Structure 1
Amino acid sequence: MRAQTDCVAFFMETSFHYQVYRNIISHLISHNVACELVVNDLIEPAFVNEMISGLRKISMPGLACVSLSSVIKSGKKYRCMISPYYLQYLEKTADIHIRTLYGLAKNQWNHAEWNTQYDYILCYSHYTQASLQCGDKAIVVGNPRFDDWHNKTYQKALPSELNINPAKPTLLYAPTYGDLSSLPHWAEKLGRLRQEYNIIAKLHHGTLYRESERSALKLAQRYLKNIVSDNDLTLTLLEQADYVVTDNSGFIFDAIHADKKVILLNWKEMGKLLADNASYSSPDSPEQKVRAYLPVAEDMQEIRDYLSADWPWGEIAPALQNIKTEYCDAFNDGMAGLRAALVIIEALREQR
């Protein structure tokens, strides 16, 4: 017999997940709903240590935190478990399971069959709602992580140790990890722009902490000196960036959401990764379809062309505004966390 608790649990496998949840948790607590972070301590130690380090910075009265191993050992059962993706061993830990989106890229993962296991799915906008084909289970709430952007409640200044030269434009490089990452193909090339630009690398947590990504991390450390790993600084980085350079990352949509000038990177072998289920991405994934609208650089000359003052960014602005509303956030009003919290509260009422 599992011990029942009225808490709403939020499952974490990286400190980034706290940024996904934070504004939802804040509204739940303000509605007197008890909340608890459940940290997966059964994964690679580097990820566990990263979460523990991140949790030390959290200051939210009323928010508790426990380890997954203790939940499993004690047989604890929550009223509701919030998670960014489905994991079978979470099934028996709650009566209600609700998914929060954490990104838009890679359809073959994001819209996979496991979504049917959820009671509700909180969507950023209509694209995901329609793609999941889950009927009334998929509810459009907006992107809670960007509430701080719209409400202008994020830290504005970058850490002084980045040594940003205010006389230079700032280029934010945000690659994904694994085979779809541009790091092995572009890190050295982008490093050549350091004389003309402030270059800040925001690395994926997979690159930072997976053993399999050790060589990619070393490349970044060698050629890209300003590396940021703190997820708390994402909106600050977007605020300061004049350009965002990325590849197959969901960060494309963060940059579009923030109305930034976005340049995508390509390389010779990338097309092979999109065919025959070679990766989680495919030609019909959002991060590939958006290439029809954004500038895509194949070499250094092209990226310099896109960085020039006369490149016609205004011509693609209407298409990007449509993507911002239909993909990134249906509302863009800073109230997504509240809408998500109210969906959770209603789900709790339904189960009583």
Structure 2
Amino acid sequence: MKRILAQAVKELAQFRRDRLTLALAFILPMMTLLIFGFAIRLEAKDIPLLVQDLDQSVLSRQYHDRLFATNLFTPVTWQGNPEIALDRSIARAIVVIPPDFSRRIIANKSSDIQVIVDGTDANNARVIRNSIKATTQFFLQSEHLAPTTASISAATRLWFNPGRQESLYIVPGVYGVVLWIFPSLLSAIAMVREKEKGTILQVYASDLSAGELILGKSLAYLVVGIGMAIGVIGLGSLIFHLGFVGDPTPLLLGTLLYLWASVMFGLMLGARTNNQNSAVQGVALVGFLTALLLSGFIYPLSNIPFPLSLVSNVIPARYFIEISRDAFVRGIGWSGIWFNLVIIFGLGMLLFTAARKALSRMQLGD
């Protein structure tokens, strides 16, 4: 145990003297949090909409105003063929009101409104279509042009996030991405630096085992990761007004396990690479892409196609993001996410075993 602590103290001393590493540990995670927290928006807004009113009646103007009262669309002015505005991306959708719009409605006849939606972005296209459909139905009801009674009436209430704050969904996910990338990056660079400077030979010549070396380094960068987590989660809670909605202990324990798994991932990559460029590329490709795309951070896990859906089962960020969102949004606590902590611990042990075996083979000269 003394040798593990001595190794950890040595790593922390080296870390403290390297200003670039200090910036990598504390400045870049904060910048990543701010960029992701403010830049990523899943709900479409300010969509340019072109409305061509061929009726020019009181009813058609009321319908026109109702479309823009949703605060989802911004009006676009265009003279000539409206489809050209769509082709040139001046408008994302076109609504054409026919010349007999009001006359047919007053006569209790159906009036066909032409809606053309840019389908380049499938998600936005779906949002636009559903919004125009819902707005049209609301307009008919508000103008007493549709039946007021229905066989089924759905009373909808948003649970957990009634204000529809996107930060409640995005920011806890950013915690998972940031706390996976930067601790693993720091530990991978630290391991490879030992090889590049040749100091790893002193370890081989000593009686320090591969497991003790790994544990010593992981302890040092776990301490660094804890400081990083306090800074990132504290800044995110302050700026985006996030607070615990339930028992915080699953998040506290889960963060420790997650940081340990992240450090082990970096040490495993560092033990298997011979230069810092390879280590950084490995963390970026294997760590960042999987944490970003296969963890449920942005895209639902159910949307991940086979066989990539199998890979998502071994991504620790997937399980930590669920823990983080539970702590800040859902508040279910231990009964809902205890299994996630078990999985993170198991994946961390697998990474520790892989790192130890890789370093053991190097010590033996295989």
Q: Taking structure 1 as the reference length, what is the TM-score of the superposition?
A: 0.23
Greater percentage in helix: 2
Higher strand share: 1
TM-score scaled by length of structure 2: 0.23
